[in-house]
Amino acid sequence: MAGLPEVLALDETGPDRFRSGPIPSEWARTFGGQIAAQSLMAAAHTLDRSYSAHSLHGYFLRPGRPQEPTDHLVERLRDGGSFCTRRVTAVQAGEAIFTVTASFHRGDEGFSHQVDMPAVPAPDDIPESDRINGWGMPRPAEWSHWEMRWVPGGQRGHVPGAPACQRVWIRYGRPLPDDGAVHACALTYLSDMALLGSARLPHPPTAVQGASLDHSLWFLRPFRADEWLLYDQVSPSAEHGRALTRGRLFDTGGRLVAAVAQEGLMRFDRPRPTEGRPRLHRLDGRPSRGTCPR
């Protein structure tokens, strides 16, 4: 399967227009983190590297098709002295599949505070797993370049009134270049990994359809995605076939480097016509994953 450098490789096809090629996948629909990371990279290509991404807010509009190229169309909404804003629309076959607004900042001096990192075992003290969280989904081949260590006892979801929770140490398994934009895009990719699964933990094994609906990410402090990050994931609510999830990412020094929020589809599986339409992700251990269904 393609590694992160191949995923983030974009060809400039015109002014503020970039194209990502087909990325081989075992899924019927493109992984949402991949589309978001590519769109953020397209936005970064229109900026001086003195600006770094500090937030993004995106919506998954249609299923992405891994076997087709994707065009990322960048709009320059604002170029300021401290902040720049870009809107990127990812398009396949003339239809928008994802849209994101990303803000970039040069950085300023100000106050500093953060919450403490949870007390967890170090990643080197936890064995590697070929599973995705406690309900046993096999790790997708798309994630073979990522190292993941699930924190023992870090899964909570059976206590009434308490949020469902899971924790995982994660890093990209190969060295990445010293380019802040690459690490921001790598974190954007990983921020969608297994996050919706936290909403599955309190419930019995039942076939459900799941997909990312929207995604927000805040970059808080410098980090490297090829070094261990603790991804603390919680789901405070699920209702009406949708689940709310949140995440915090800490480095091994305990610094809070990023925060995530996402709403995802999590509805009971139901019969539907499949001809001409990609299948939805099933949260029952079957390897399928992707962006918003329609």
Residues annotated as part of the active site: 192, 212, 262
Q: Which residues contact 80 (CB under 8 A, 6 or more apart)?
A: none
Phi, psi of 184, rounded to the nearest 5 degrees: -65, -40
The CA distances from residue 255 to 49, 138, 249, in Å, are: 23, 30, 8
Handedness of CA 163, 166, 169, 171 (dihedral sign): negative
Q: Tell me which amino acid residue 238 is.
A: A
Question: How far apart are the C-alpha atoms of 287 and 111, rounded to whole Å?
Answer: 44
First-residue to last-residue Cα distance in the chain: 27
Phi, psi of 174 (to 5 degrees): -130, 150
**Total residue count of the chain as it appears in this document:** 294
Collect all residues with Cβ–Cβ distance below 8 Å to 95 and sequence separation of at least 6.
62
Say if CB 116 and CB 254 are below 8 A apart: yes
The phi, psi pair for 173, rounded to 5°, reads -80, 0
What are the structure tokens assigned to 141, written together? 């081949």
For residue 81 the two structure tokens come to 């002295």
Half-sphere exposure of 247 (CA within 13 A, CB side): 34
Closest CA to 283 of 245, 256, 249: 245
Instruction: Judge contact between 234 and 243, C-beta under 8 A.
Output: no
Q: Tokens in use for 15?
A: 């002014």
